[in-house]
């Protein structure tokens, strides 16, 4: 989705506001919002791409104005409501009005350390040979899907060079196909592709400047020179 | 406060300090209530163990943070074999120090050299290597950083008070997949014979994102 979240290369947001001795959280609600988001993610009822997709499709003004943990909170509510775990009325009243959905996996305090240390690796075995090799010239395709994608607008149509191959990773664009598990775990080879600043930004590019993105195979095509 | 009324509706107004304060004042109470209500509801419906939330918070407030990454960098400076391993297979090298898991499942370490300075961003959201750096600062998730890091990285570095030497290239890594990048800063001169513990004190969070450099030991002594 060509959403407000796809910010690379936009202008007009002003200088980076750096807070000296910044606290880890600005208010206790941010602390709890982080914990709630991570804990409920362990339910397995959505995946990282569905969570990102929920954040990206919030109303654009909410996305740019809110503190980041407000974006997380709003998206978490959306994920919970979509799956029928809670209702708008329950949220408004702050108390249960409907019976709970049975069988939801609850992350227990004693399981937290192991769950965080394990994470959710995105690599998958593949029997497909990679289509691109390190050193090869590739073009990022001009794709504008309605749904979730991880190909930022600022590289689309531009030519770069493959510098790393990461093996096969779950493809975000398909990982969001189903709202509930089992998810579509289709994987593709993933590459780091580097672009010259002048290729992306033309004559206004800063000197001696390159940018890379991590791009799945279906985001790319070979360039024959 | 009515600071907003004094602002022209320029694109910057929404992201200046005054506005942020206003926004914080108007939403803080609301967000406090909203998050508390959500937690209560999830707990009462049996979906959430609030003690798990406590433990998650404690993990990132106490145990996991840039002090982890600083130990990785200091070790890479001190042990050439570890540096080689880190650059070859950062996931395994970092896991050998017990920094693993969520938002660091696939790690790549990128070394700064006299020729090239590296800087990391996530233009699409807030991807950040949690096991080695903890949770990202607000600026890392801000529109200003995410939008500008890829188009004018030197100007962004200037916001951080960093000017690269003449002729040093800048290489920006946009974390658009589940690969997380750790910048390996250059070891400062004048640190020969330092222990890893001493070296780690020179490694700032920003140096490992690439918006800063490792501290200069002389300056640090003066400061200390």
CATH number of the domain encompassing residue A78: 1.10.472.20
pLDDT, tens only, A74-90: 999 999 999 999 999 99
Residues B151, A200: C-beta atoms closer than 8 Å: yes
Domain count, chain A: 2
Q: Are residues A161 and A209 in the same domain?
A: yes
What is the CATH number for A142? 2.30.30.50
pLDDT, tens only, B196-217: 999 999 999 999 999 999 999 9
Residue A168 lies in a domain: yes
Residue A157 lies in a domain: yes
In a mutagenesis test of the A interface, which of B11, B148, B183, B210 is the best target, namely the one with the most A β-carbons within 10 Å?
A: B148
Residues B124, A6: C-beta atoms closer than 8 Å: yes
Last residue of a domain, one of A73, A89, A118: A118
Cβ atoms of residues A91 and A77 within 8 Å: yes
pTM over 0.80: yes
pLDDT, tens only, B31-59: 999 999 999 999 999 999 999 999 999 99
* CB proximity list for B35: less than 8 A, separation 6 or greater: A29, A32, A33, A36, A73
- Chain A residues with CB-CB distance to B66 below 8 A: none
The interface pTM score, or ipTM, of the predicted complex is: 0.98
Q: Identify which of B123, B126, B140 has the alpha carbon closest to the alpha carbon of residue A51.
A: B126
Domains and CATH numbers, chain B: 15-61 (no CATH), 66-223 (3.90.330.10)
Q: Are residues A46 and A79 in the same domain?
A: yes
Active site residues of B: 122, 125-127
Residues A116, B101: C-beta atoms closer than 8 Å: yes
Q: Are residues A99 and A69 in the same domain?
A: yes
Last residue of a domain, one of A118, A150, A169: A118
**pLDDT at res. B28:** 58
Taking the C-alpha atoms of residue B142 and residue A162, their distance in angstroms, rounded to an integer, is 29
Which residue shows structure tokens 């990048």? B181
Stretch A54-67: mean pLDDT, rounded? 95
- Cα dihedral sign for A40, A35, B136, B80? negative
**pLDDT at res. B9:** 35
Residue A6 lies in a domain: no
Residue A80 lies in a domain: yes
Residue A171 lies in a domain: yes
Of B12, B37, B169, the CB nearest to A94: B37
Residue A5 lies in a domain: no
* CB proximity list for B136: less than 8 A, separation 6 or greater: B126, B128
String of DSSP letters for A157-217: T-EEEEEEEEEEEE-HHHHTS-SSSSP---EEEEEEEEEEHHHHHGGGSPSSEEEEEEEEG
- Chain A residues with CB-CB distance to B32 below 8 A: 27-29
Residues in chain B, pLDDT under 50? 1-23, 222, 224
Q: Identify which of A188, A68, A41 has the alpha carbon closest to the alpha carbon of residue A128.
A: A188
Residues B176, A5: C-beta atoms closer than 8 Å: no
Q: Are residues A35 and A71 in the same domain?
A: yes
Cβ atoms of residues A107 and A42 within 8 Å: yes
Taking the C-alpha atoms of residue A67 and residue B139, their distance in angstroms, rounded to an integer, is 11
Residue A126 lies in a domain: no
Residue A195 lies in a domain: yes
Q: Are residues A85 and A166 in the same domain?
A: no
Of A70, A170, A214, the CB nearest to B179: A214
**pLDDT at res. B26:** 55
Full residue range of the structural domain in which residue A92 is found: 28-118
Q: Are residues A142 and A199 in the same domain?
A: yes
């Amino acid at each position: 989705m060509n959403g407000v979240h796809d910010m690379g290369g936009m202008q007009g947001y002003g200088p980076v506001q750096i807070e000296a001795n910044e606290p880890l959280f600005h208010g206790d609600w941010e602390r709890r919002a982080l914990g709630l988001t991570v804990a409920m993610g362990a339910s397995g009822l959505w995946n990282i791409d569905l969570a990102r997709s929920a954040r990206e499709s919030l109303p654009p003004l909410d996305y740019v104005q809110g503190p980041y943990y407000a974006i997380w909170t709003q998206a978490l509510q959306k994920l919970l409501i979509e799956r029928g775990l809670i209702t708008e009325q329950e949220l408004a009243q702050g108390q249960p009005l409907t019976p709970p959905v049975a069988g939801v996996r609850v992350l227990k305090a004693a399981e937290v350390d192991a769950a965080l240390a394990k994470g959710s690796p995105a690599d998958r075995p593949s029997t497909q040979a990679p289509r691109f090799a390190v050193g090869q010239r590739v073009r990022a395709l001009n794709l504008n899907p309605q749904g979730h994608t991880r190909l930022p607008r600022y590289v689309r149509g531009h030519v770069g060079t493959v510098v790393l191959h990461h093996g096969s990773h779950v493809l975000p664009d398909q990982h969001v196909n189903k709202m509930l598990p089992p998810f579509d775990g289709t994987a593709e080879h993933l590459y780091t592709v580097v672009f010259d600043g002048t290729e992306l930004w033309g004559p206004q590019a800063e000197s001696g400047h390159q940018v890379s993105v991590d791009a799945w195979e279906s985001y790319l095509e070979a360039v024959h020179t | 406060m009515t600071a907003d009324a004094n602002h022209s509706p320029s694109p910057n107004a929404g992201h200046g300090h005054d506005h942020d304060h206003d926004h914080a004042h108007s939403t803080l109470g609301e967000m406090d209530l909203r998050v508390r209500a959500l937690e209560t509801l999830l707990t009462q419906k049996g979906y959430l163990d609030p003690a798990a939330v406590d433990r998650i918070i404690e993990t990132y407030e106490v145990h996991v943070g840039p002090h982890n990454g600083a130990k990785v960098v200091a070790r890479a400076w001190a042990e050439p074999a570890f540096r080689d391993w880190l650059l070859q297979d950062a996931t395994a090298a970092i896991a050998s120090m017990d920094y693993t898991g969520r938002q660091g499942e696939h790690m790549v370490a990128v070394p700064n050299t006299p020729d090239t300075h590296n800087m990391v961003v996530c233009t699409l959201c807030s991807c950040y290597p949690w096991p080695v750096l903890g949770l990202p600062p607000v600026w890392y998730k801000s529109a200003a950083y995410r939008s500008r890091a890829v188009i004018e990285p030197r100007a962004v570095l200037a916001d951080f008070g960093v000017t690269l030497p003449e002729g040093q290239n800048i290489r920006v890594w946009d974390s658009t997949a589940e690969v997380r990048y750790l910048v390996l800063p250059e070891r400062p001169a004048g640190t020969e014979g330092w222990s890893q513990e001493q070296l780690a004190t020179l490694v700032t969070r920003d140096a490992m994102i690439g918006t800063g450099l490792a501290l200069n030991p002389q300056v640090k002594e003066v400061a200390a």
